[in-house]
């Protein structure tokens, strides 16, 4: 009786062990995949050289879009602006000179034209009188010729006075006006460029966020492109997981993942997959290895929390129980 019960127990144990063994052989045990929290980060750098004059925030400080966080100074740019503004004033004056004519000059030319017209009238009368005397034989031909020459000279002087009046009224030539206008635009552009550079000395926050790094110190000189401060937008955080391609079976953009965050007391955060993207090419790519295994690429999977999570910060770990398992015949 005892032997029969012992045999029955061995049979049951064997059956259970076989089932468990088959589950481990054929089943797909969940994998633990660890990712990391990331967020939008902006590194602010000056476009022009300048020395730090004021610091409005420190590491850990919160900023709003448009807040002034750092102010630089540049005496060189201030001096260059003064020179450019002086050149602009000269260009404005030169353009006014070229485009405009003084009223006094126009009045003087009008007076000259009036005198020339009066001289023509007088020369015409003298010529007519000498012509009449010539017909009556009371004057010489020389007197007539002199009167004729005086009339022609007076008429030419009148034409010259009329042309001078038109010239001063119309102003300089189109070419001179165009050149003066171009010089004015060039001077204005130089002033605008320096003013733009000066505006770049005021560093403003481009996003709402938190300051995570601030290499800038008071009095320190920074060149264009050097990092002054870094701002992270905590409200735009997501989880990033790096997975082999054989673990992506069935995963699609829009799927939901339950991500456990150890730093938040193990809180589970529902997140929606927003991106599945290959990370890079192989160093030495081969379609098939001699052993029959395949080289597998790594994909970046990005999942964004479906609701706001207080305390979620970049660098925190995110853990997911991944149901996928590698297919047979591939290298892990």
Residue in 236, 305, 314 with CA at minimum distance from that of residue 40? 236
Distance separating alpha carbons of residues 233 and 39, to the nearest angstrom: 6
Q: What is the mean pLDDT of each run of 10 residues along the chain (332 residues)?
A: 41 36 45 91 93 93 94 95 95 83 73 85 87 82 86 88 77 79 94 95 94 92 93 92 85 92 93 88 45 72 92 92 51 34
Look at residue 290 in the predicted model and tell me its pLDDT: 46
- The string of DSSP letters for 247-294 reads G-TT--TT-EEEEEEGGGTTEEEEEEEEEEEE----SS--SS-TTS--
């Amino acid at each position: 009786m005892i032997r029969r019960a012992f045999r029955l127990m061995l049979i049951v144990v064997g059956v259970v062990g076989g089932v468990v063994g088959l589950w481990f052989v054929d089943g797909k045990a969940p994998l633990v995949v660890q990712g990391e929290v990331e967020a939008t980060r902006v590194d602010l750098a000056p476009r022009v050289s300048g020395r730090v004059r004021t610091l409005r925030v420190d590491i850990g400080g919160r900023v709003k879009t448009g807040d002034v966080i750092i102010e630089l100074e540049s005496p060189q740019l201030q001096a260059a602006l003064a020179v450019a503004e002086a050149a602009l004033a000269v260009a404005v004056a030169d353009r006014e000179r070229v485009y405009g004519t003084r009223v006094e000059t126009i009045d003087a030319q009008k007076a000259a034209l009036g005198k020339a017209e009066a001289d023509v009238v007088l020369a015409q009368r003298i010529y007519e009188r000498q012509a009449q005397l010539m017909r009556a034989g009371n004057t010489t031909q020389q007197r007539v010729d002199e009167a004729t020459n005086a009339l022609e000279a007076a008429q030419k002087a009148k034409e010259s006075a009329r042309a001078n009046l038109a010239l001063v009224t119309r102003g300089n030539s189109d070419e001179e006006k165009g050149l003066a206008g171009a010089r004015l635009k060039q001077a204005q552009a130089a002033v605008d460029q320096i003013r733009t550079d000066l505006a770049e000395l005021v560093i403003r926050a481009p996003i709402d966020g938190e300051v995570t790094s601030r290499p800038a110190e008071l009095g320190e000189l920074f060149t264009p492109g050097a990092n002054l401060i870094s701002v992270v937008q905590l409200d735009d955080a997501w989880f990033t997981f790096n997975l082999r391609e054989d673990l992506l079976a069935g995963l699609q953009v829009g799927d939901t993942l339950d991500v456990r965050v150890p730093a938040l007391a193990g809180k589970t955060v529902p997140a929606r997959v927003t991106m599945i993207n290959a990370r890079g090419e192989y160093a030495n790519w081969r379609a098939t290895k001699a052993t029959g295994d395949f080289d597998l690429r790594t994909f970046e999977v990005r999942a964004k929390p479906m609701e706001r999570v207080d305390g979620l910060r970049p660098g925190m770990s995110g853990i997911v129980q991944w149901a996928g398992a590698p297919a047979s015949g591939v290298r892990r």
